[in-house]
Amino acid sequence: MPYIDVISRQRLEKHPPETMGELTYVLYKACRHYINKEKKGYKYQQLAEVLAALEAAKLEFYARVVRPYEDIKIKANGDVF
């Protein structure tokens, strides 16, 4: 977990993240907010839901952004096989 400075934290309340550290911080804060919504401590169900949501977001990002980019690079540079 990157520990970003207070000025960056304040900026992130109104603007999207610009660095990997800021992106990690925003994702972490969203997950913590979701888990703490009941203020009664952790529940396994919520922890599992956060992990599942992060995994689903990762897979969707890969399918829609990373894989198409890789396909373009394969066509431009040739496959590794």
pLDDT tens-digit readout, 34-52: 988 666 778 899 999 999 9
Angle between helices 44-61 and 20-35 in degrees, nearest 10: 140
pTM of the model as a whole: 0.81
pLDDT score of 40: 73
CB 4 within 8 A of CB 26: no
pLDDT score of 3: 83
CB 14 within 8 A of CB 41: no
**pLDDT of 14 over the 70 cut:** yes
